[in-house]
Structure 1
Amino acid sequence: MLPVFLTGALTVQISAELGFDPAGLGLVVALYFGISAFASLPCGWLVERYGSSPTSRIAVIGVACAMTAIAAFARSYPTLVALLLCCAWCNVLGQLSSNLTLARYVPATRLGLSFGIKQAAIPIATLLSGAAVPAIALTIGWRWAYLIGTGLALGALLLTPRGVDGRERNSAAAGERATGALSVIGLAAGLGAGAATALGIFLVAAAVDRGIDAGLAGLTLTMGSVVGLSLRLVNGWLADRRSGGHIAVVAGSLMLGAAGLVLLAVPGAFALVLGTVLAFGLGWSWPGLLQFAVVRLHPEAPAAATSIVQVGVYGGGFVGPIAFGFIAAHASFPVAWLTGAGSMLASGVLMVVGRRMLIAHGTAVAQPATS
């Protein structure tokens, strides 16, 4: 996830050299997630077929090569777009292969916390991206941030799983998968992810547009990432201590997180900080908990099941930045934040609907078959 959020955090410096506006940033991020949405279902099949060992290594090597290319060859906006899109399929493979690894090899009593740790990757990416503004971009230049990211990726290569074979899965009937409910939940996740992705991508640019120092804006993004990371871990830890109700917690987090986006529309550093804490801490703390719930419901094919939900998440990542960038460029950043708040609120409502469909599906499957 690092390349796309790094591009968002460094957009002030990158756009000054390559020449693009918030709509241009929204377009490149949207295309990134659009490619991810199209790749999600096929990659889910590939991960289930070949296992997480080769797919995770391919993902890490691919993103390392792409970040090196961005640092060396991104001399124009179209080149930046093309190279960033090369990172998209790496994200899909990494996401789904890690889901399979956790589902197969982590004890059930620690699965929630494990998914919380895994999904902490996103706030870690935004944390590193925010810290890169004052520490790297404003000192030695934005290209060095991508080179350092390459080094981190190659270090992660040493930690990829060995000998995990996706073909060892159980073969359950395809009809037992709650595809309809998962599709609704995927739509809800898409609305929430669209608003939350815009938060990570546009926060620094929006704050600078309101007259806040770029260094302070970057540090605020870093702080929000720490809050989001911490609450993802807490959500996972608590999930291991509940017997159910995980999707209900996701819905509540989304509805409360919308308040943080409303605060970002209010001028001033205090509203920026408080809105960032609420939006990251609640509105973007749920992906690990949601994937944990889906895997618990579909242990026979965790990568395939989560790929359905991930289509919605990536679809939201595609539409959200385009819509946010367009609104910000043609209206204002406050109007864009308020629109995002409405999207996140609608996401919470749809998540409740999807949860009820899952309950109904589970009841139907549990009933004896009738002729």
Structure 2
Amino acid sequence: MCEELHFSPAGLGLVVSAYFGVSALASVPAGVLVERHGATRISRAGIALSAASLIAVAAAARSLWSLLVILAVGAAGNAMGQLASNTSLSRQVPAHRQGLTFGVKQAAIPVSTLLAGAAVPAVALTAGWRWAFVLAGLLACAAILLVPVEPSSPRRSREHGQATGALIVIGLAAMLAAGSANALGTFLVSSAVSHGIDPASAGLALTLGGAICGAARIVGGAQADRRPDQQVGTIAALLACGAFGLALLSVAGSGALTAGVVLGFGFGWAWPGLMTFAVVRLHPQAPAAATSITQTGVYAGGCVGPLALGAVAGGAGYPTMWTVASSAMVVAAALMLVGSCLLRRHAG
């Protein structure tokens, strides 16, 4: 894509940051739409918008800027789908199975990344990268038929009783954690090469981390159903493990690389389902509105994190960048604990 559309890796980073930035801006409005029009309608609209953007990339992307505009439209669909699915699951899945359900839902993200990677040799390098986007768009269209119908009319309430202060603190923690975790996918290979490690080995380590991340999200969701009141503390523990893993990446050697990716990505990025579960559990009357605040933090981290950490890497080197990312994740863990206390106070 970079070769055909004439942009550099920095341009690719700009496109990814713009995608997450628009997702962050669209998150709260998308939550309002879900509460007003119902999860089924907004979920279908979000999938349709995402499918249209994928097919538009194949048909109309001719430069960096056209690609950016198309993906910005798709980012709005991403926000709509996330919040609609949160609401649908919170209202249609029994409470004692919601932790596992949200874990499976969030595991779909690293799994989709693995599938996208598989699409490169299977489709992009044979039929061309545009056909890979066409195939993804058609699969997304098929998913519209699988959207569950709400059993009753959507709940509409002016007074949601949200613990807004707690949600903002947790959203800030999510921003720091997501920004740090996203740096792995963005900078791991180039960082490994700077340490003299083969790019293929770094890619395999990242694939391993993604697989562990998906499994950890599902297992974490299952344990959440058994200990529903302790999940924000569990998130803080996962972030502490992730911070240690990111710190290891500043050390040269393939062993430190593998351990760092497993801990930093496998555990440090395993918490989004637990966060959604904890927030939805305390805001069952308005799950989309509540999770829109915390989801904004996740998207903001995906937008700002790679840009800020990339600047650190350019100015001070990769070891310093991983140290900064590790420190940010430690702060995120502390903020999660503060947010947990505030949520308990609101619940009480």
Equivalent of 1:247 in 232, 255, 259: 232
In structure 2, the residue matched to 1:317 is 302
Equivalent of 1:143 in 112, 126, 130: 130
In structure 2, the residue matched to 1:36 is 23
> Which letter does structure 2 place at the counterpart of 1:41?
V
> Which letter does structure 2 place at the counterpart of 1:293?
A
2:330 maps to 1:345 = yes
Equivalent of 2:162 in 177, 192, 206: 177
Contact 2:282 2:347 in 1 (8 A): no
* Gap runs ≥5 in structure 2: none
2:81 maps to 1:94 = yes
SS for the counterpart of 1:167 is: coil
* Matches of 1:51 and 1:268, distance apart in 2: 51
Distance 1:146 1:211, change over 3 A: farther
Offset from partner CA, 1:245-278 (integer Å, 9 cap, x none):
1100001111110122222333444333222211
Mapping for residues 254-265 of structure 1, pairs under 5 Å: 254-265=239-250
SS for the counterpart of 2:154 is: helix
* Matches of 1:347 and 1:270, distance apart in 2: 26
* Matches of 2:315 and 2:346, distance apart in 1: 44
* Matches of 1:158 and 1:270, distance apart in 2: 45
Is the deviation greater in 82-91 or in 295-304?
82-91
Equivalent of 2:110 in 120, 123, 134: 123
Distance 1:96 1:84, change over 3 A: same
Offset from partner CA, 1:23-72 (integer Å, 9 cap, x none):
43332222212111111111101001111111111111211121122223
> Which letter does structure 2 place at the counterpart of 1:190?
M
Q: How much does 1:343 deviate?
A: 1.2
Distance 1:132 1:341, change over 3 A: farther
Mapping for residues 1-371 of structure 1, pairs under 5 Å: 14-138=1-125, 140-163=127-150, 167-168=154-155, 171=157, 173-174=159-160, 176-207=161-192, 212-363=197-348
* Matches of 1:60 and 1:232, distance apart in 2: 23
Q: How much does 1:16 deviate?
A: 3.9
Offset from partner CA, 1:305-342 (integer Å, 9 cap, x none):
11111121112122112112333344434433222212
> Which letter does structure 1 place at the counterpart of 2:147?
T
Q: How much does 1:217 deviate?
A: 4.1
Q: How much does 1:133 deviate?
A: 4.3
* Matches of 1:166 and 1:315, distance apart in 2: 32
Distance 1:146 1:287, change over 3 A: same
Give the CA RMSD over aligned residues. Answer: 2.3
Q: Percent of counterpart pairs with the same letter?
A: 53
* Gap runs ≥5 in structure 1: 1-13, 364-371
Contact 2:47 2:140 in 1 (8 A): yes
Contact 1:129 1:222 in 2 (8 A): no
Offset from partner CA, 1:331-370 (integer Å, 9 cap, x none):
434433222212111101111111112223333xxxxxxx
SS for the counterpart of 2:54 is: helix
Distance 1:107 1:98, change over 3 A: same
Contact 1:29 1:321 in 2 (8 A): no
Offset from partner CA, 1:115-135 (integer Å, 9 cap, x none):
101111221122223334454
* Matches of 1:117 and 1:164, distance apart in 2: 22
SS for the counterpart of 1:244 is: helix
The alignment covers a number of residue pairs equal to 348
* Matches of 1:118 and 1:278, distance apart in 2: 21
Q: What is the TM-score normalised by the length of structure 2?
A: 0.91
